[in-house]
A and B are shown apart, each in its own frame.
Chain A
Amino acid sequence: MRLDYLALLASLTRIDRRILYLLVALAIVIPLLAASGTRVTPAAESEGFFRAVQRVSEGQTVLLAADYNGATAFELEPMVTTLVQEVFSRGARLVLVCLDPQGIGLVEAKVQMLADAAGKTYGTDWVFLGYRPSAPGVIMSLASAPYTVFPRDHRGTSLRALPLAAGLSGHSDYQLVAVVASGPAAQDWVIYGHARYRAPIVIGLGGGLGPTFQGFLDTHAIAGLIAGLRGAAEYEQLTGRPGEALRALSAQAMAHLLLIALIILGNAAFFAAKWRDRPPV
């Protein structure tokens, strides 16, 4: 019996979508169960991010805007984790803000955990300013008059009563401005913050926004960029702190391979069906 390859290929156009979902699930679960390690070759923009953080030295202050929420936490928390670990390990201090009202609790809990692990004291080594509405207003005010927009920290303590925040005056306080954002709020930091802060700006983004910010690297508006899980994994590798991003990257790679295979198969099936159903000459 001769197998009709054309009909077999064309039949793929009628495949139940639930089978595809199952394949995607398997492509993700199997690498996670196998716990296979992955190595990546860091991109130039990730190295820029890494170098900018490396330039921060003991006693200097980093402003971190962690603007993400539960929906994008898995993509961005690895960036915050590695960045905060690096900042604390260098003996630098951290001023933290969150311009996403849905992410306040997540961000505070994560940095508190990292600070406890590093033996850092709240108020002396790090401070959480919290959330204020209107990102542009907050970005500009933090650079000129921090006490106006944040008279108290997120825990209700007067900023002037905290040793770290007591000396804040504005744009010249920070040696680095790091932004980890899931939405276009990161662009606000470039538009409103680039000319106002005397510190380099580095940005960590959700993957979907990565290409949009490449142009800011060419104009030197930002010193470094890590985008998506891949960027987070590259940063983890550069710092020698393998974490969730590197762990999940093998599952990501497998899912991408499956996606590419499905796109090729889908196109082949489409043209096979078209060829089979062509009108007779």
Chain B
Amino acid sequence: MFDPAVLVPALLTLGVFSILYRENLVYRIIEHVGVGLAAGYALAMIIRTGLIPRILSAAADPVALVTMALAIPACVGIAVSSWRRNTLGTVGISVAASIAAGLALPGIVENLILEQMRATMVPIGLSSDAGFDSLVVAIGVLSTMAYFSFTREPRGIRGVAALTGLYTLMISFGASFGYAAMSRFTLLIGRFLFLLRDWLHLVR
């Protein structure tokens, strides 16, 4: 209970919970310390695992230092980090963004568009569970598309389809929100379990 490795996190957890009673200085201090520690740790890790190995490998291979392998990316990196806008930095960002978009495009088109469309276009029916699922998916997709069709005022059958689309969206958002609530409760349970088990030893 008095082990600093457990006592300090336990007291910090209680300090964070204190915001539930009312706004207070302890919570604000812990919040800032937490955010600062997380950002500082991440930065240290990025420098240690990303930047330093690059510098060390350059030191081990001086040829690379003055050739394209490192010299050009380093110059572009410095230009991009510069406070003042400059051509090299702008070109560097453009090239990096273009490469990223080019590499991402095939995967996005295949996995997020074509494959999803293919998975939607399956036989529908009421005779089997899979067929009924497909029917629900087809109705959901078509009605949601109808909801986002703004060329004409949604009246009659178009209005019914748009309303169905709206409810489909609401059910979808509701499912996502339900999962998000579950996720937050899980993290809260984790904190309570830490307090009850690791700190107070009330549960095994």
Are A32 and B179 closer than 8 Å at their CB atoms? no
Q: How many residues of B are in contact with the other chain, CB < 8 A?
A: 45
CB neighbours (8 Å) of B38 from chain A are 69-71, 102
Task: State whether B187 touches A210 (Cβ < 8 A).
Answer: no
Q: In the complex, A32 Cα to B204 Cα: how many Å?
A: 10
User: Nearest 9 pairs between A and B by C-beta?
Assistant: A74-B190, A207-B183, A191-B107, A219-B115, A208-B180, A101-B45, A218-B119, A101-B42, A229-B186
**Do the beta carbons of B20 and A219 come within 8 Å of each other?**
no
A191 close to B111 (CB less than 8 A): yes
The yes or no answer to B176 lying at the interface (CB within 8 A) is yes
Given contacts A75-B186, A211-B175, contact A102 B203 (CB under 8 A): no
Tell me, yes or no, whether A93 is within 8 Å of chain B by CB.
Answer: no
Does the CB pair A211–B176 fall under 8 Å? yes
How many Å from the CB of A156 to the closest CB on chain B? Answer: 9
**A190-B111, A219-B116 as given contacts; A255 in contact with B42, CB under 8 Å:** no
Q: Contacts A190-B111, A211-B176: A228 and B186 contacting too (C-beta < 8 A)?
A: yes
Given contacts A74-B187, A207-B180, A207-B182, 14 further A-B contacts (CB under 8 A): A32-B193, A33-B202, A33-B203, A133-B46, A190-B111, A192-B103, A192-B104, A208-B183, A219-B119, A228-B183, A248-B189, A248-B190, A248-B193, A252-B182
Q: Which residues of chain A in 110-167 are interfacial with respect to chain B, using CB atoms and an 8 Å cutoff? A: 130-133, 136, 140, 151-152, 154
Residues of A within 8 A of B (CB): 18, 21, 24-25, 28-29, 32-33, 35, 69-75, 101-102, 104, 130-133, 136, 140, 151-152, 154, 190-192, 194-195, 206-212, 215-216, 218-219, 221, 227-230, 244, 247-248, 251-252, 255-256, 259
**Per DSSP, are chain A's interface residues mostly helix, strand or loop, or mixed?**
helix
B116 with A215: CB separation less than 8 A: yes
A251 touches B189 (CB 8 A): yes
Please give, as numbers and ranges, the residues of chain B lying within 8 Å of A73 by CB-CB distance.
190
List, in ascending order, chain A residues with CB within 8 A of B118's CB.
219
B residues with a Cβ closer than 8 A to A are 20-21, 38, 41-42, 45-46, 49-50, 53, 57, 100, 103-104, 106-108, 110-112, 115-116, 118-119, 172, 175-176, 179-183, 185-193, 196, 202-204
Instruction: Pull 13 A–B residue pairs with CB atoms less than 8 Å apart, ordered by A.
Output: A28-B188, A75-B183, A101-B41, A102-B45, A133-B46, A208-B179, A211-B175, A211-B176, A218-B119, A228-B183, A244-B193, A252-B182, A256-B185
Report B151 CB to chain A, min CB distance, Å. Answer: 27
Interchain CB contact under 8 A, A207 and B202:
no
Contacts A35-B204, A102-B45 given; does A228 touch B107 at CB 8 Å = no
Q: Which residues of A contact B112 (CB under 8 A)?
A: 191
| Among B111, B180, B196, contact of A219 (Cβ-Cβ < 8 Å) | B111
Cα–Cα, bound, A247→B186 (Å): 12
Are A191 and B108 neighbours in the complex by a CB distance under 8 Å? Answer: yes
- The answer to whether A208 touches B185, judged by C-beta atoms less than 8 angstroms apart, is no
Please state if A192 and B107 are interface contacts (CB–CB under 8 Å): yes
Kindly state the separation between the CA atoms of A136 and B101 in the bound complex, as whole angstroms. 11
B71: shortest Cβ distance to chain A, in Å? 18
A252: contacting residue among B21, B45, B116, B185, CB under 8 A: B185
Q: Which residues of B contact A151 (CB under 8 A)?
A: 53, 57
Contact in complex: A35, B115 (CB < 8 Å): no
A21, A72, A133, A244: the one within 8 Å of B187 (CB): A72
Which A residues lie within 8 Å of B183 (CB)?
A: 75, 206-208, 228
- Contact partners of B180 in chain A: CB under 8 A: 207-208
Chain B min CB distance to A93 (Å): 22
Task: Please give the distance in Å from A249's CB to the nearest CB on chain B.
Answer: 9
B187 touches A75 (CB 8 A): yes
Nearest CB of A to B145, in Å: 16
